Chain A
Amino acid sequence: MSFLQRSRLFRSIVRHGLPDSVRNRALVTFTNFFLHIQPVKVRLRAMQFTRTFYLGGLSAACFFILVVTGVLLMFYYHPSVPRAYEDMKDLEFVVSSGVFLRNLHRWSAHAMVALVMLHMVRVFFAGAYRPPREFNWVIGVVLLLLTIGLSYTGYLLPWDQLAYWGVTVGTNMAAAVPVLGDQIRFLMLGGHGVNENALIRFYVLHCVVLPLALTVGIALHIWRVRKDGGLYLPPKG
């Protein structure tokens, strides 16, 4: 093991020594892309499970599962009127592990919406939205809206009766917006009804636009948690 750690290849990837000193332990976090969102030191009080119930982290974990299973589902799904429903049925009954991946995607989506809501409730009751963290609360609200947007656009893709009428009703709610309502609905659907244009629009939003926006949003959100002084801790006593 120590031979490997002295090798030139290993030293080119991990540039610090063993975490046997305060400096090296700090470098482990500093120099690792995936760890650098963590603070170098964490207070014990911040580590308590009941402090956060890990709700933000679990929401992010759900998003990770959704990206992986979603990409796998995309290998079989065609966003077209003749194929969409058939492909969904094939995923259920023909494709190996298709039903598992589809259900994992579905349940993670439900869990993510619930966890994001609970995360918001936790932050609210902890008072962690107060200065200097008030802008991170705003980012969090945007993340909630993006999560709901992902949930809603994914709803149409199976192209079954529930999807079709659910989106018919949902876009008619958008049409109730004063003055611009009908134009908003027309833009959402790319037509006057739920048809092939609506399917491809929801597909692109669901698979590209919203996940990208959510990824950037999550990065900003976590970065700001660090910059705003880490996890909110109530004063002692």
Chain B
Amino acid sequence: MSLTDDLNEPLSDAEVTRRKLLLALGGGALAAAGLGAAITTLEYMKPNVLFEPATRFPVGRPEEIAPGSVLALPRQKVYVVRGPAGIYAMSSVCTHLGCIIQHRRAAGQKEGFFCPCHGSAFDLEGKVVGGPAPRPLDRLDVKIEGGKLVVDTQKKVPPTTVLEV
């Protein structure tokens, strides 16, 4: 049998249809595999176990926190304040760009919180009193369970919420 140069022969309709089908099948399979690989790789990049501090934790008995005092929990990034109306917890993460605010109590200055990164200032209730912060500090859920205060940093509450003790 002699070889023929079939590249020069015109394609029949059946061949065109077959090529289109094979192209669609092959292309579709590659696209599906590529999409699957992209999704699983993205999932891989999201850690399932995190070695971060617990978001729900006890902070002690309410009577141990003296009125007018501010309890700093740097690891959990929380301040627990006992004001005149009661106890409340606030996130110590600045609402501007996420630096950690510092409690400030100096003679001749109003007590409050101050962010070292861009100079945002908050009063003891977490209201913005200066700087670029767009909203008050996040107030966090505090409950008494078995006589102990328990803070949940995942639950945000309205900025006027106070736990009466």
Q: Which A residues fall within an 8 A CB radius of B?
A: 165, 168-169, 171-173, 175, 186-187, 190-193, 195-197
Contacts and interface: CB of A to CB of B under 8 A. Distances in A.
A187 B117 CA distance: 24
B110 interface: no
Contact of A169 (B45, B46, B117): B117
Contact of A192 (B42, B45, B50, B99): B50
Given A172-B97, A173-B97, A190-B47, A165 B52 contact: no
Interface in B95-136: 97-99, 117
A190 B52 CA distance: 11
A165 B117 CA distance: 8
With most chain B CB atoms within 10 A of its CB, the pick from A168, A171, A187, A196 is: A168
A193 B52 contact: yes
Interface residues on B, range: 10 to 19
Contact of B46 (A172, A186, A192): A186
Contacts of B98: 168-169, 171-172, 175
Interface string B52-66: 100000000000000
A186 to B, nearest CB: 7
Chain A binding site: helix, strand, loop or mixed by DSSP? helix
* 9 shortest interchain CB distances as A-B pairs: A172-B98, A169-B97, A172-B97, A168-B98, A190-B47, A191-B50, A165-B99, A187-B45, A165-B117
A33 B124 CA distance: 68
A3 to B, nearest CB: 53
A2 B80 CA distance: 85
Contacts of A192: 50, 52
27 contacts: A165-B99, A165-B117, A168-B97, A168-B98, A168-B99, A169-B98, A169-B99, A169-B117, A171-B98, A172-B97, A172-B98, A173-B97, A175-B98, A186-B46, A187-B42, A187-B45, A190-B45, A190-B47, A191-B47, A192-B50, A192-B52, A193-B52, A195-B51, A195-B52, A196-B51, A197-B47, A197-B50
Contacts of A168: 97-99
Contacts of A169: 97-99, 117
Nearest to A189: B47
Contacts of B47: 190-191, 197
A195 B49 CA distance: 14
B5 to A, nearest CB: 33
A191 B117 contact: no
A191 B99 contact: no
A195 B51 CA distance: 9
Contacts of A165: 99, 117
Contacts of B99: 165, 168-169
Contacts of A193: 52
Contacts of B117: 165, 169
Given A172-B97, A192-B52, A195-B52, 7 more contacts: A168-B99, A169-B117, A171-B98, A172-B98, A175-B98, A197-B47, A197-B50
Contacts of B42: 187
Contacts of A186: 46
Contacts of A171: 98
Contacts of B97: 168-169, 172-173
B52 A191 contact: yes
B57 to A, nearest CB: 15
Nearest to B118: A169
Nearest to A170: B97
A161 to B, nearest CB: 10
B148 to A, nearest CB: 25
A173 B98 CA distance: 9
